[in-house]
Chains A and B, each alone.
Chain A
Amino acid sequence: QVQLQESGPGLVKPSQTLSLTCTVSGGSISSGSYYWSWIRQPAGKGLEWIGRIYTSGSTNYNPSLKSRVTISVDTSKNQFSLKLSSVTAADTAVYYCARELFTTTGDAFDIWGQGTMVTVSS
């Protein structure tokens, strides 16, 4: 059973870079037809897709965040990572990593991490 686990600092200062890692266990990050995504959710608000990466290194980013986001993958460690630069209080949220299964019938986020809370504050 594949599981995802986010890790990283829970507190980031304004203007600094938020860095999170998602570790994939129970299966190889390189196997199958999957993208690997980051999604966030401010307290009491809805879900916002940040971006995704394929194990080839190909990425897609949310246009509203694209200038500040970098997603990378380390297949040797079975991990993928998120970097969000120049953070402000508006970036305070629970950050989820998720597996996106793509098939001929459609794509969907079929497995999610438990989420990690990141607060931007001095």
Chain B
Amino acid sequence: QSVLTQPPSVSEAPRQRVTISCSGSSSNIGNNAVNWYQQLPGKAPKLLIYYDDLLPSGVSDRFSGSKSGTSASLAISGLQSEDEADYYCAAWDDRLNGWVFGGGTKLTVL
């Protein structure tokens, strides 16, 4: 059971927009920044969004992040087949004094 809660899977058609939610609590998302990671099949995770809504250099602006209270969301617009991957949210947890991850969401582009 992960500390942060994500839907196990989402799916959408190419060129459409999809959102992935991440729910936490006051000790993690409610008080600290949220990061999102993309994990392509068989690969290591890659930083996608940091500090709630910032894009690292080289990441497509089709990806965006937002946060409100103890929940965060990742949005992907203009879906492409190459976006099929697992997506993880993460935040520092003040109570556990460590990083916590969501269980991951598998994105399928129909």
Contact = CB atoms under 8 A, between A and B. Distances in A.
Contacts, number: 62
A51 B97 CA distance: 10
Nearest to A48: B101
B24 interface: no
A46 B44 contact: no
A105 interface: yes
Query: What is the predominant secondary structure among interface residues of chain A facing chain B?
Result: strand
Interface in B28-67: 32-33, 35, 37, 44-47, 50-52, 54, 56
B101 A112 contact: no
Interface residues of A, number: 22
Nearest to B45: A112
B51 A115 contact: no
B63 to A, nearest CB: 14
Interface string A19-48: 000000000000000000100000000111
